[in-house]
Amino acid sequence: MRQILFILPIALLMLLPAVLLLVLVCRALLAYIRSKKIREEKNAVKRSLEEALETLGWGQTLDAVSVCLEEALDALLELTGQRASQEIIDQVFESFCVGK
């Protein structure tokens, strides 16, 4: 039993560099995913606003323009974290088994 207690800390020290590397890789991956998501949301806001301007230029009703503006607002709220998309909500329920 004493030998196991002696070897365990040494084994853990040997694993430490691998664990630290894994943590760094995970952080880099999360940063990439976040930046990609931000880029997608910014593009969605831009597309929706351009679509609203085009719709307005075509002489469409304000109802049609407001649909484009609502899409832009939804994307902007997701970008700022003030609204969660259904995709994110689904991921939370899948990952954390809420309500099971």
Given a cut of 80, is residue 70 above it in pLDDT? yes
Predicted TM-score of the model (pTM): 0.56
**Domain ranges (residues) in the chain:** 2-96
Indicate the pLDDT class of residue 45, thresholds 50, 70 and 90. confident
3-state DSSP call for residue 95? helix
Tell me, what amino acid is at 91? Answer: Q
- By mean pLDDT, which of 21-30, 69-78, 83-92 is the weakest? 83-92
Give dist(CA 6, CA 11) in Å, integer: 9
